[in-house]
Amino acid sequence: MLRRSAILAALIVLLTTLTTAPAATALTVPSPTVDAFYKPPTPLPDVVPGTVLRSRQVTVKALVVPVPTKAQQVLYRSTDTHGRANAVVATVLTPITPWLSGGPRPVVAYNVGSHGLSANCAPSYWLRQGIEYEFALQSLALAKGWAVVVTDYEGSATPNPHTYTAGPATGHAVLDGIRAAQGIVGKDGPVGIWGYSEGGLASSWAAELQPTYAPELKLKGVAAGGVPPNIGNVGYKIDGGPFFGFFIAAATGLSQAHPEMGLEGFLNDKGRKAFQQVKDMCQVQWTPTYAFHRISEYTTVRDPIQLPQFQKVLAANELGKRKPATPMFVYQSVNDEIIPVTDARALVGKYCAAGTTVRYTESFVSEHISLAVTGAPGAVAWLADRFAGKPAPSTC
């Protein structure tokens, strides 16, 4: 367990070095900001969500070594927070080995944790550069023979930054990414969804939206770890701590999805500068930059979270108000320094009360980052059982 955590920490250090390197030493893959593939057609075609608008074969790398898997990038039509058509990029990974386990090959939407607001933090870009540190976790699914689709969420394919923590747009991007992947892999296979941290948020939103937004998907289960059900509560927990930068990023992401927040009207000069800077940052940059600062340093009011317009947006992006129709596996660290464990327990309680089958586990020996690694084998095993048709266990 400690060895796995040390490996993840080493990868994060490596990623920090690579993503903050001067442009002159950047790898040869063009940035999404200059890569024409990421520029959506204007206007967007009037097509159904999940339709592939553009695709290309790419090479995915682990550091400098090409990965022996079929990789295809897709630009597909999705839906933003307000129900408007948008375009999103995803990477579809298919093992080169034939699927011999009977029936169609399963498709798993692997949803990454916090990468950043800049398009240059998009997983589709990092996979090609060989610096996607979550590829080790994605490989657990590929090793099972499953096809894996990794969405960028909303942001890399538009002029606007990633709408970080905006739930509906994120859930739509996941579900439409599955639809786009099925156009490549096949539409008849079982579907699973898996993610941790921001990926856990994305997975949970996809689970809640799937019954009405994508009912045709043969969704067998959703594994979600480190889920932040209530962004306001996360803000209070990390205020003044080493991960305070995530609050600035979340507030910026929500304001991009909800201009009605009027965020800039409550920022002081320091706040306006910080919120402008974070739009061009990856999380490995905003974490050290804003560590141990407080909300009150950046605003003209002491507690903007309690403002009515903020509360309205936070309520619109709070999990637990819809019933997932598929079994769920939720895992959470008791010692999580970012997400209150009480919020995870409350979310599971809501799902159970609604009638969703939930297997909930807590770790007492991990924290937020390490559980992403140590919890992954359990998530994969749980999904494998769902694909095998085994009854889903419940702790409700």
**Residue positions annotated with a catalytic role:** 197, 336, 368
Residue 59 Rama label (left phi>0; alpha psi -120 to 50; beta)? beta
Q: How far apart are CA 208 and CA 183, in angstroms?
A: 23
Residue 121, token pair as written in the block:
């933090």
Q: How far apart are CA 351 and CA 215, in angstroms?
A: 18
106 contact partners, CB below 8 Å, separation of at least 6: 144, 145, 146, 147, 189, 190, 191, 192, 220, 387
Beta bridge partners of 66: 61
Q: How far apart are CA 206 and CA 253, in angstroms?
A: 18
Beta bridge partners of 109: 149, 193
Q: How far apart are CA 169 and CA 259, in angstroms?
A: 14
User: Cβ distance 138 to 130 under 8 Å?
Assistant: no
Residue 125, token pair as written in the block:
């870009």
List the one residue out of 215, 120, 109 whose CA is nearest residue 170: 109
133 contact partners, CB below 8 Å, separation of at least 6: 8, 11, 12, 14, 15
Q: What φ, ψ does residue 30 adopt, rounded to 5°?
A: -65, 145
Mutual angle of helices 269-278 and 245-257, in 10-degree steps: 80
User: Cβ distance 29 to 125 under 8 Å?
Assistant: yes
